[in-house]
A and B are shown apart, each in its own frame.
Chain A
Amino acid sequence: MLKKIDTAQLDALLKIIRTINSHLNLDKVLESVMDVTTQAIQVEASSLVLIDEETNELLFHVTEGEKAKIIKTIRMKAGEGIVGWVIKEEKAVLVNDVSKDKRFYKAADKKSGFITKSILCVPMCTADKCLGAIEVINKMNNEDFDDADRIFLEAISSQAAIAIENAKLHERIVKNERLAAIGQTVSGLAHCIKNILNGIQGGSYILDLGIKKEKFSNIDKGWGIIKKNNEFMKELVLDMLSYSKEREPEYCTVDVNELVKSVCELMEQKGKEKNVSMQFLPEESLNEVEIDTKGVKRCVLNLISNAIDACEEVDGGSVDVSVQNTKGKIFRIHVADSGIGMSSETQAKLFQVFFSTKGSKGTGLGLAVSYKIIKEHGGNISVDSKKGKGTKFTITLPKKRKNNLLLEVSNGRE
């Protein structure tokens, strides 16, 4: 008759289950499993052995006990030793005198100087394959291993197998997600570069034609296109770098009205070319805010440029830019246009990298970069748009650098 599993062993099992369920780092989980096992069964040494799928060798992945470090360096062939047999046959083995067991791998004791007397080894299997085994060696006080120990170790082993499978699954998911993200980025980037290259190709062709036919207007046009695309490439690289790098804003104290006004002036020509009128409404009380001037300027420029583009196909299109103070710790910059507006689908993808509705003119990086810059300030960008009516973007920013304040702008607190 089996002796009952004692409370200490049940407690150990519970501890192992909790560890497996609360940690994602597999090595830490397995170390903890073996640590708890060694103490619960009270043995001199223990090992968790895994099959190396590439070399088909047995690896001592986690080792406990006096000679743990040396044991860890040992490599055994598949099927070798008691542990090899257990993995191959997927059956537990309990040997209380290893000297009488032919399967025993003496070389391990010889290399480590450890004297193995008894071994309890159980396979570590999932529903469809054996991943390795757990073995415990030399029960304390020269006691023998019994079936209760085997059942306890089998329970632990099945939990360890689940932990390994979970970790492998997690690793696969992360890898697939990473590959998908890389794929998307590469294809988005390639698309932008192809359009820029097409511009350069076109510019050079027109330039060559101008030289061949001695037509100055062609030379001028071709050269202009090349220069423009050179600028696009520069902007693309800068946007990519801004997007990919985690950075802290470079704060300085500025008059936000001056900043927004200067952007409006920069955009005035573009507005005129596209018959879009532009108004700016300043807020006198906001003459000292702490922001990353370059970053915020880039965002405002981006929003105003988009707003003008959105008005291009609308008769009498207008863009209204304003700055708004609040009684709290934040202020807002609004950019509203009377353009074509956006569908809810477009709005949902708005800040996604490489998403653009501008055909070959858009890189799909502008808003993604703007969003990132504002988030780095601890601020937020929101959008309100109706198809056919127009769009209003609102940048909300802290008046002081975010380190000085505990602001939760994104939650609407002021």
Chain B
Amino acid sequence: MAENKKILIIDDEPDAIAFSEAMLSELGEFDIETAINGLEGLQKAEMIKPDLIILDIQMPVMNGFQVFKELKKKEATDTIPVIMLTGIASTTGLRYDAKDMGITLGSEPDAYIDKPIEPEEFQKTVSSILGL
């Protein structure tokens, strides 16, 4: 029997983690790990080498962009697909990504998903990245 895919959720908000977990539970069986801050997230990413990381942008101390940059720096984590969740609002009505915020990431995340998250969009993105 094939092993379950491993997903790491890095988010400072337990309710948001619960939301992601609930949406994933509808897609199938996964081994889900969670981290409530960037530092813990980086350690877990290196340790468990997940198939996908779901990363919130707005977190205290170390934000999602900083975590993303660190992930891309390390050989053990640089190929792990990343979905970034953003709640940052733009007055133009468009989604704010790293470029809009004047942040140079080097490489782009596999997807940005805007808050409030549409479960269908979230599930479709995860399925496509994991090849489900």
Contacts and interface: CB of A to CB of B under 8 A. Distances in A.
A203 B60 CA distance: 23
A221 interface: yes
B19 A194 contact: no
Contacts of B23: 205
B18 interface: yes
Nearest to B19: A202
A278 B2 CA distance: 51
A195 B18 contact: no
Contacts of A190: 89, 91
A203 to B, nearest CB: 7
Interface string A182-197: 0100111111001101
Interface string B90-132: 1100000000000000000000001111110000000000000
A224 to B, nearest CB: 9
Given A205-B22, A357-B60, A359-B58, A191 B15 contact: no
A360 interface: yes
A202 B117 CA distance: 8
B19 to A, nearest CB: 3
Given A209-B25, A313-B61, A200 B116 contact: yes
B61 A225 contact: no
Nearest to B93: A190
| Size class of the B contact interface (CB-based, 8 Å) | 20 to 34
Contacts of B58: 359-360
Interface string A339-361: 01000000000000000011111
Contacts of B117: 198, 201-202
B22 A206 contact: yes
A228 interface: yes
Contact of A228 (B15, B88, B115): B15
Given A205-B23, A209-B26, A360 B16 contact: yes
A194 B13 contact: no
Interface string B49-91: 0000000101111010000000000000000000000011111
A366 interface: no
Contacts of B12: 359-361
Interface string A284-326: 0000000000000000000000000000010000000000000
A271 interface: no
Nearest to A201: B116
Given A202-B22, A205-B22, A209-B22, A197 B60 contact: no
A199 interface: yes
Nearest to B56: A360
A195 B119 CA distance: 15
Residue among A187, A203, A357, A360 with most chain B CB within 10 A = A360
Nearest to B37: A313
Interface in B3-36: 12-13, 15-16, 18-19, 22-23, 25-26
A357 B18 CA distance: 22
A201 B61 CA distance: 26
A191 B13 contact: no
Contact of A361 (B13, B25, B63): B13
A189 B60 CA distance: 19
B88 A191 contact: yes
Interface string A159-199: 00000000000000000000000010011111100110111
A114 to B, nearest CB: 53
Q: Which of B15, B37, B114, B119 has the most CB of A within 10 A?
A: B15
A209 B116 CA distance: 18
Contacts of B16: 198-199, 202, 360
25 contacts: A187-B89, A187-B91, A191-B87, A191-B89, A194-B87, A194-B115, A195-B115, A198-B87, A199-B15, A199-B16, A200-B116, A202-B16, A202-B18, A202-B22, A202-B117, A203-B15, A225-B19, A357-B60, A359-B12, A359-B13, A359-B56, A360-B12, A360-B59, A361-B12, A361-B60
Interface of B: 12-13, 15-16, 18-19, 22-23, 25-26, 37, 56, 58-61, 63, 87-91, 114-119
A-B CB proximity, top 4 nearest: A202-B19, A190-B89, A197-B116, A198-B115
Interface of A: 183, 186-191, 194-195, 197-203, 205-206, 209, 218, 221, 225, 228, 313, 340, 357-361
Given A198-B87, A202-B18, A360-B87, 8 more contacts: A183-B91, A189-B89, A190-B89, A202-B117, A225-B18, A313-B37, A359-B59, A360-B16
